[in-house]
Structure 1
Amino acid sequence: MTNAFTDMLSSREWILADGATGTNLFNMGLSSGDAPEMWNDEHPDRIKTLYSMAVDAGSDLFLTNSFGGNAARLKLHGAQKRAHELSRISAEIGRDVADARDRPVVVAGSVGPTGEIMAPMGSLTHELAVEIFHEQAEGLKEGGADVLWLETISAPEEYKAAAEAFRLADMPWCGTMSFDTAGRTMMGLTSADMADMVEKLPYKPLAYGANCGVGASDLMRTVLGFVAHGHARPIIAKGNAGIPKYVDGHIHYDGTPDLMADYACLARDAGAKIIGGCCGTMPEHLSKMRAALEERPRGTSPSLDEITEKLGAFSSAVDGTEEGSEAPKRRSRRRR
């Protein structure tokens, strides 16, 4: 299967993804507790602006405004029957933005977690999870998404259900998990666990990796964990712009554009191919990241010391890999 995304993967040394969705939409007036996906229908001009800001800042790929667009999440807003429709509209707006550019731009259909706990610990069965993800996947496909983009997943069972749903939709896909608990996902997976799981899937993603989490430093350590595991599949790094802090009644992320530029190059040098930002990442961050990736020569894979020197301290002393596989080794620092 060949499309704009697979062409880009095969021809580029790195791909710049987009930044935050929620942070930018809150700046446009979205209220806490509201479903961003409703804006696809109610304020399509603002969603077009969201996508355009990322592309104008240099992104090669942007995610659609459909993260919480599955029936399980939309049920909280009484809109569970609109899952297909709202996802389709999110991709249609994205298709219009991408097709108007004079360079290749990939529309990635965002698919987030259901918000439910999978059986046997919870009530969400594998079959129902596949049905929920399949409905959203078909909407994104109909709207013109180039690739499906599973993100912020914690449970391996949910990741596997999404993979099956994407196979049913006959769509290429990528998938990231969020490692935010001492190098593990909320459900206990390490980077090594994820790498092994991905390679055993019957319908594998084109690329896999990590998004969100604690901050850029921790995400970089997770990327090194993926690389150390030795699989050749392209790796995604989509870290938050620093650490969230509550200031004057609002959440602010302390990562500067310069810090995110350093992070982008460190991620590239560590072995990530698709590099972007998550929460708190604004167009000004993306512009600096693009410039740094274009202007700074590729270097050797960074050591843990180099990561903390440039991006700040890790949130925990361990990254989870020491129990299941060999942890990334510290390397002597090399100046570039």
Structure 2
Amino acid sequence: MNKLQKLLKEKGTLLADGATGTNLIPMGLDSGQAPEAWNFDHVDRIQKLHQSFIDAGSDIVVTNSFGGTARRLHLHDLQDRVVEINRAAAEIAGDLVAKSGREIVVAGSVGPTGDLLAPLGELTYAGAVEAFEEQMTGLKEGGADVAWIETMSSPDEIDAAIEAANKVGLDYVATASFDTAGNTMMGLSPAAFAQQMAGKNPRPQAFGSNCGVGASDLLVAAIDMVANADGLPVVAKANAGIPKIAGDKVVYSGSPELMADYVKLAMNLGVSIIGGCCGNSPEHVKAMAEAMRAHNGGDAPTAEEIIETLGPLVSPKSSKKSDRSNRRRRRG
């Protein structure tokens, strides 16, 4: 039994951490700069962020390696340091976890390559597997407990990342981003994603959704994932509301109090791993931890009840009527 399985068995519901990128920006990360470079250039700032989430109560800390494939690092002339960068990302988180006195999972973040797979793009499936395998080699060398495959939209790219994890010998978690009328950008639905994950061999340690367009949209997607999970733990790592421009800054509409309500709803749905993505600060995670500790259970909410509590869907499913209208406009 690995650490993630052990903690799930002991606690039932685990608290993941909050955002990486949106918290590094006020710490000095410039637009266009690679966050992964801070694993060398500003180790103290990455340590500070991880520690803040550990102090807030997180059971899972996600490494600073989201864009850690050569396909993305070449944009910053770092493609020759893939293994080194990812090893450092896992080591930074792992060192803090070791000092925490608690059992905490180090989740090695693996984001999309940023390229479209053939036939839509030039990246072959084998090339994607190779890119992910190189990244995960570094994460495993650094001591990551699990490959945290996140913010995915393409079924083929998800499969490539899973194959890489299997080759490297890392257990994996996979989360998709349902940000396009309830589906991923590539048309994958929450129910279909759940069914695909339940059919994998080996199966993921957990699966679910992260990022997307808001907490309401993510939890509505989670209804179908839980219903089709076939016993697998489900992950919900939602954005703190939606982003808005305030002067020269981007701020998120979701308060810590709203994210505490989100935790209660997610627990009532049967979600096993709950955390935050973009816009979620340590204060948000602390509020989520307090809500998780205080929660006494309740009935599974309907989509309407989720929307009533957390706000309207940002990207609602299209109605048949509007679909017909769109088809008419396209034909015209």
TM-score bucket of the superposed structures, by smaller chain: over 0.9
Deviation at 1:228, TM superposition (A): 2.4
* Alignment check: 8 A CA contact 1:152 1:178 kept: yes
1:77–1:61: structure 2 CA closer, same or farther, 3 Å change rule?
same
Cα shift at 1:50: 1.0
Q: Out of 223-232 and 167-176, give the one that drifted further.
A: 223-232
Per-residue deviation, 1:26: 0.5
One-letter identity of the residue aligned with 2:130: E
Q: Distance in 1 between matches of 2:286 and 2:194?
A: 30
State the distance in 2 between where 1:230 and 1:143 align.
31
Give the match for residue 26 of structure 1. Answer: 25
Matched residue SS, 1:51: helix
CA contact (8 A) 1:160 1:201 kept: no
Q: After superposition, what is the alpha-carbon deviation per residue over 1:266-321, rounded to whole angstroms, capped at 9, x for unaligned?
A: 1111111000000000011111111111112111101222211210011244289x
Moved more, 195-204 or 23-32: 195-204
Structure 1 residue matching 2:121: 3-state secondary structure: coil
Distance in 1, matches of 2:115 and 2:82, equals 16
**Is structure 2 residue 125 aligned with structure 1 residue 126?**
yes
Question: Does the aligned pair in 1 maintain the 2:260–2:287 contact within 8 Å?
Answer: yes
Contact 2:195 2:229 in 1 (8 A): no
Establish whether residue 168 from structure 1 lines up as the match of residue 128 from structure 2.
no
In the other structure, the counterpart of 1:46 is: 45
CA distance 1:230–1:209, shift in 2 (3 Å)? closer
Structure 2 equivalent of residue 11 of structure 1: 10
TM-score, normalised relative to structure 1: 0.93
User: Counterpart of 2:65?
Assistant: 66
CA–CA distance in 2 between the matches of 1:141 and 1:24?
25
CA apart distance, 1:120: 1.3
In 1, the alpha carbon distance for the partners of 2:296 and 2:157 equals 38
How far apart are 1:230 and its partner, in Å? Answer: 4.9
Runs of at least 4 residues of structure 1 off by over 4 A? none
Matches within 5 A, 1:238-257: 238-257=237-256
What corresponds to 1:197 in structure 2?
A: 196
DSSP 3-state at the match of 2:100: coil
Alpha-carbon offset, residue 16 of structure 1: 0.2
Deviation at 1:199, TM superposition (A): 2.3
Q: Aligned Cα RMSD in Å?
A: 1.2
Q: How does 1:61-210 map to 2 (within 5 A)?
A: 61-210=60-209
**Cα distance in 2 for residues equivalent to 1:44 and 1:77:** 18
Q: Which residue of 2 aligns with 1:289?
A: 288
- Give TM-score, length-normalised by structure 2: 0.94
Deviations 1:52-99 (A, max 9, x none): 010101111110000001100001111111111100000001110000
State the AA in 1 paired with 2:153: S
**Counterpart of 1:54 in structure 2: which amino acid?**
F
The match for 1:331 is none
Counterparts of 2:193 and 2:214, CA distance in 1: 19
Compute the displacement of 1:140 (Å). 0.4
% identical equivalent positions:
50
Residues 280 and 319 (structure 1 numbering): CA distance in 2 closer, same or farther, change over 3 Å?
farther
Structure-1 separation of matches of 2:119 and 2:316: 32
Deviation of 1:247 after TM superposition, in Å, equals 1.2
Q: Which residue matches 2:313?
A: 314
Partner of 1:211: 210
Q: Describe the SS at the equivalent of 1:100.
A: helix
Does the aligned pair in 1 maintain the 2:179–2:315 contact within 8 Å? Answer: no
Q: Distance in 2 between matches of 1:255 and 1:319?
A: 25
The residue number in structure 1 matching 2:265 is 266
Number of residue pairs aligned between Structure 1 and Structure 2: 319
Counterpart for residue 328 of structure 1 = none
2:138 partner amino acid: G
Bigger share in helix: 2
The 2-side partners of 1:48 and 1:165 are apart by 28
